[in-house]
A and B are shown apart, each in its own frame.
Chain A
Amino acid sequence: GIQVEQSPPDLILQEGANSTLRCNFSDSVNNLQWFHQNPWGQLINLFYIPSGTKQNGRLSATTVATERYSLLYISSSQTTDSGVYFCAVAFLTGTASKLTFGTGTRLQVTL
């Protein structure tokens, strides 16, 4: 079936370290978004990136649509980066424009 898989499920980093989060999806997509859910539960838009590469400060993302994966890079991590990172996609053949979320990567950044 239609799936969105994220890895790793959990990640613990020391402040200043870099990390790569991965999202694999099972079918062609029209929309791919990365979110950060902070400890207060808010979902913060990071990137809208159905294809290509984007950068925003210490974060960047790349989606290779033909190979059905996306990567989120976090450089020089800070404690405020802690939380859960979600990848969500709208599949080309799916129901209207609903987003299907992965199960997330839980990131903890320590001092």
Chain B
Amino acid sequence: DSGVTQTPKHLITATGQRVTLRCSPRSGDLSVYWYQQSLDQGLQFLIQYYNGEERAKGNILERFSAQQFPDLHSELNLSSLELGDSALYFCASSVVANSYNEQFFGPGTRLTVL
């Protein structure tokens, strides 16, 4: 158990809908990362937050947004869902925001868009 929690574990929804994925980092970690794992793109970085502020963006679609709350949990919002958004979404956390820190991954949320 990495200490990072994600809910829900599975999500099945229809095209055009909007969903919210939730992540709680390890106790004491200030930085949260979101990654997407799809069959065609592999594991890709989406976005990073540090202590409530956006720190870095990857190839995140405009239909996707995220935030980190004062209690440090984070939410990833996916809207106008398309079939291609079906993927495993991981949250990771680290103590601080720089690249020298080990990242710990949650169990993931498996999203299926029908």
Contact = CB atoms under 8 A, between A and B. Distances in A.
Interface residues of B, number: 29
Give the interface SS of chain B, mostly helix, strand, loop or mixed: strand
B108 A45 contact: no
B99 A96 contact: yes
A86 interface: yes
Given A41-B110, A42-B108, A43-B90, A96 B56 contact: yes
A96 B107 contact: no
Interface in A29-75: 30-31, 33, 35, 41-45, 48, 50
A86 B45 CA distance: 14
Interface string A73-92: 00000000000001010111
For chain A, the bracket of interface size reads 20 to 34
B103 interface: yes
B88 A41 contact: yes
B48 interface: yes
Contacts of B2: 44-45
B107 A101 contact: no
Interface of A: 30-31, 33, 35, 41-45, 48, 50, 86, 88, 90-92, 94-101, 103-104
